[in-house]
Amino acid sequence: MKTLTNKVQVLFLICLTMMTMWHYNKISQTTRPNLNLQISQFTKEARGEIYCLAENIYFEAGHEPTLGKYAVAFVTQNRVNSGKFSDSICGVVKQKIGSTCQFSWWCEDKPKFISTNNLLTNGANPVYNESLRLAIHFYTNHDNLKDPTNGALFYHADYVNPNWSFAKKEITIGRHIFYNYKRNSNDRL
């Protein structure tokens, strides 16, 4: 009987491992960065957009799981596409409504100083390098990727409560909760 129990446990572990690998492969097909593309291959304008996206990923989700990083990229792009925000990635990242930055890091002195002085692009920061690789992959493939946020335009960390009455929760990924406008809502931040 003990041998049968051990065999069942081994089979269970094998099945669990196979399911995990299948799930990883399913996700990674849409999120694995193309490491063959280099930032120097893009036009000056495209490089600017990619750098803005990479910085947004880095400052907003640098220590989140890969899916969380892509989620931040999608919110940024969803805002570009929405017609309710700026029509460029850099414009969305740096946008203020009143005195409120849409991405809080842009209003903070140290991250803004790091960004405006290009202190991340020297290649010495592995977290930023990963953010840049993801930004390149996203920028070149976003039309072919599945949006894990379901079209979200907003998010916040799970440790804050902004009381967004206009928003409908879409999903939680890592430490961020993603939202969209409620149907028929014309409210703005």
Tell me: the pLDDT tens digits for 56-92? 999 999 999 999 999 999 999 999 999 999 999 999 9
Classify residue 129: in a domain, yes or no. yes
Classify residue 24: in a domain, yes or no. no
25 confidence band (pLDDT: 50, 70, 90)? very low
Does 50 or 101 have the greater pLDDT score? 50
Classify residue 74: in a domain, yes or no. yes
Classify residue 180: in a domain, yes or no. no
For Cα atoms 26, 29, 138, give the angle at the middle one, nearest 5 degrees: 130
Contact 101, 107 (CB under 8 A): yes
Classify residue 30: in a domain, yes or no. no
CA distances from 145 to 26, 27, 73, 92 (A): 12, 10, 11, 20
Number of domains composing the chain: 1
Q: How far apart are CA 167 and CA 79, in angstroms?
A: 14
Tell me: the pLDDT tens digits for 116-146? 677 777 667 899 999 999 999 999 999 999 9
Classify residue 37: in a domain, yes or no. no
What range does the domain containing 91 cover?
A: 43-149
Classify residue 100: in a domain, yes or no. yes
Classify residue 166: in a domain, yes or no. no
